[in-house]
Amino acid sequence: MRAMRILLPALVLVMTVSCGPREVRSTVNAGADVERQIDQLLAKMTLAEKIGQMNQVSAGGDVSRYAESLRNGQVGSILNEVDPARINEFQRITVEESRLGIPLLVGRDVIHGFHTVFPIPLGLAATFDPELVEEGARVAAAEAVAQGIRWTFSPMLDIARDPRWGRMAEGSGEDPWLDARMGEAMVRGYQGEVPGPSSMAACVKHFAGYGAAEGGRDYNSTFLTERQLRNVILPPFEAAVKAGALTLMTSFNDNDGIPSTANSFLLKDILRNEWGFGGLVVTDWNSMGEMIAHGFGTDRKEVARLAANAGVDMDMMTFGFLSHLEELVRSGQVKEAVIDEAVRNILRVKFVLGLFEHPYVDEAAAASVQYAPAHLETARKTAEESVILLKNDGLLPLSSGRIRTILVTGPMADAPHDQLGTWSFDGEKSHTVTPLKALQERFPGKVVYVPGLTYSRQQRSRFDDVVAAARRADVVLAFLGEEAILSGEAHSLADLNLIGSQSELLAALKAAGKPVVATVMAGRPLTIERDLPNCNAMLYAFHPGTMGGPALVNILMGDVNPSGKTPVTFLRTVGQVPMYYSHTMTGRPYNGETLLDGIGPEAGQTSLGNTSYYLDAGAYPLFPFGYGLSYTDFTFEDITIDQDSYPVDGTIRVSYTLSNTGRYDGTAVPQVYIRDLVGSLTRPVKELKHFRRVRLGAGESIRLTDEIPVSDLAFWGADGQKKVEPGEFQLWVAGDSASGDPVTFSVR
């Protein structure tokens, strides 16, 4: 095996990225010895071999189809091969039969688990538990790396405030602070504290602004200002990059007319020069080629030039670099120094991952890691924490002693594939434990299963069979929602109501007169206001993954007290899009004015309201960001801060008494929101700046103190500078973004 022997440096020296007037510390510190070896290797490479490293190929199945390209050094990375033996064959040809033996970087979309599938990322965000999410990412890396996959195209950090957009499922929701904490957790989980031979390189995506697609239609244009980018969209990416993410992916969208894959403001000015990103930038799938469709380039040669000069290092599936870069360099349209920098970034990631030293995977050991009991346990615990209790009239938790017959119904009760959610390519449905299976296991002989609808879009006008079964049952458990295919990439929806005849099914069950618990599994917050009256309780589970069934049963039976919180606003109707908690105030904030049903036939024009709201849908959502009930009750009292006024470099210490005033032990999620009352720009009415999970026994109280650096209140102001602007602020400590009364303080 011809692999270059690398003596990893004992002392990892800090590398700096030279960027004009100032030096910025690189976010990927491979060490001086590795940097030296990169330069030595680069010096040996022909231009064609350098360009080969910048080419990524989706290569699954027959390795022989790619053998010549591998031997010729025309492939730097492959994606979508997951078989360890074939991965080793790809590697063997590359390392042992190419001239320089530079190993491949093998990538895969390991988005929320590999074989053991976790809740979709929106569900992970609902846990408000970065530590557990990090543990889950570590599990995903352990299973994927054991099969030879060393790069995942995750975390997706696109801020999403339009639930029509199907990819809301893949991100951490609407809030930059929660998104950033989840992104950092996943980077740490995938890569470990110091990336090495057991790491899976993270890929922060999609850079940038993809979630603001106009109309919520995937791939659509976005029109984000630089201020909106800097104050809302980019902070999670910066956090993940500074957490050490080794790679980043450009987004499909054009923002304000410029496709991200050719946006040097994003890829150079911000990513490299301001943040010091030292990893590699890969395009999204053919996003380079799609710039022709965007009307931003006439052919592949031109878009390859645009992408290379904008700062793209690796081309996923356009083959624009492989086909045209050599000619572009020869003609001087792309400087070879640009190629060298791209190849350095690629080689740095490969060195840091230890690929030169350890290019092969232990095929014999791969299977033993998959679905390990500890992995399934972590997945179940994560699913439990991801479930949000939206309504409970006291029916939950169920008492097993009073249950003789349980009716299980609905299209998601036994949907082993769809329960895994979108982007779970390698999750095998044979391992999924559905709610039906979990209930049958826990209550043998007591479960009656009448689906009512075999899939969500099925139309039925009558449910006589289900209603008859409901009348014979003690409790009805209806599992509703949307299949995995109805969310995710390219799957935007214009109507967010429960699809098909599901609402009719729930109404029929309600009419049967027995207690009904509705559980919704979906890839987004559906508009379920009309369904709430037709159930005694409602749980919301963003496609909960392999262990969703046991997790839901543990919650239904009270073994686990639900603690999930909404990572996105739940709308009353899709017509309210976009509606999110950290909105600005406007000059006419809603003040409780009359709604449609309060307006008489002779109402004059001026009485039709003078503030910002909908006559037919008001000004508030169904459930706010950060919302979720528990089987117990929590109060936040005696909220105090340690000073009335703080210096810009100070620390706010907010103390409060958290009490569990109910009958069940439970976990609260105290959230600290802050409002900057007056700024050089209009500011959000509140922004999340701290959260934690606190387990508290029934009847217990605890005095807590949270610390918020005043510097966390900085924003990019009218002068284009990021700083804390002195003035008056308000601070809330509450169980969601719409509760509590503020305390005030000032910054001087």
Q: Element (H or E) spanning 608, and its range?
A: none
* Tokens found for residue 528: 């379920």
Residue 455's SS3 state is coil
Measured between alpha carbons, how far is residue 276 from residues 14, 279, 494 in Å? 12, 9, 40
Does 426 bind ligand GLC (CB under 6 A)? Our answer is no
- 73 alpha carbon, distance to own chain's centre: 35
Measured between alpha carbons, how far is residue 309 from residues 246, 336, 337, 338, 343 in Å? 21, 11, 10, 7, 14
The DSSP letter of residue 57 is E
Of 292 and 743, which has the nearer Cβ to ligand GLC? 292
User: 35, 49, 81, 109: which one contacts ligand GLC (CB under 6 A)?
Assistant: 109
The count of chain residues that interact with ligand GLC, using the rule CB under 6 A, is 6
Beta carbon of residue 358, minimum distance to ligand GLC (angstroms, whole number): 25
- CA-nearest of 515, 527, 446, 571 to 506 is 515
Beta carbon of residue 267, minimum distance to ligand GLC (angstroms, whole number): 17
Of 203 and 508, which has the nearer Cβ to ligand GLC? 203
Beta carbon of residue 289, minimum distance to ligand GLC (angstroms, whole number): 12
User: 143, 254, 284, 384: which one contacts ligand GLC (CB under 6 A)?
Assistant: 284
Beta carbon of residue 151, minimum distance to ligand GLC (angstroms, whole number): 10
- 405 alpha carbon, distance to own chain's centre: 39
User: 205, 305, 381, 689: which one contacts ligand GLC (CB under 6 A)?
Assistant: 205
Does 207 bind ligand GLC (CB under 6 A)? Our answer is no
Q: Which residues on neighbouring strands pair with residue 666, listed in sequence order?
A: 696
- 284 counts as catalytic: yes
Beta carbon of residue 422, minimum distance to ligand GLC (angstroms, whole number): 11
The DSSP letter of residue 721 is -
Of 290 and 531, which has the nearer Cβ to ligand GLC? 290
Annotate 285-319 with three-state secondary structure.
Answer: CCCCCHHHHCCCCCCHHHHHHHHHHHCCCEEECCC
Of 98 and 152, which has the nearer Cβ to ligand GLC? 152
Q: Element (H or E) spanning 630, and its range?
A: none
Does 285 bind ligand GLC (CB under 6 A)? Our answer is yes
Of 29 and 287, which has the nearer Cβ to ligand GLC? 287
Give the separation between CA 502 and CA 142, rounded to whole angstroms: 39
Beta carbon of residue 317, minimum distance to ligand GLC (angstroms, whole number): 8
Beta carbon of residue 721, minimum distance to ligand GLC (angstroms, whole number): 33
Of 79 and 747, which has the nearer Cβ to ligand GLC? 79
Query: From the candidates 162, 175, 284, 426, which is the catalytic residue?
Result: 284
Give the separation between CA 214 and CA 218, rounded to whole angstroms: 8
Which residue lies nearest ligand GLC, judged by its C-beta?
153
Residues in contact with ligand GLC, shown as a per-residue x/- string from 471 to 500 under the rule CB under 6 A: ------------------x-----------
Give the separation between CA 748 and CA 645, rounded to whole angstroms: 7
Of 169 and 512, which has the nearer Cβ to ligand GLC? 169
Residues 126-185 that bind ligand GLC (CB under 6 A): 153
Buried b (16+ CB within 10 A) or exposed e, 408-433: bbbbbbbbbbbbbbbbbebbbeebbb
* Tokens found for residue 533: 């009256």
- CA-nearest of 278, 347, 352, 289 to 318 is 289
- 111 alpha carbon, distance to own chain's centre: 9
Give the separation between CA 297 and CA 15, rounded to whole angstroms: 36
List active site positions.
284
* Residues at the contact surface with ligand GLC, assessed by CB under 6 A: 109, 153, 205, 284-285, 489
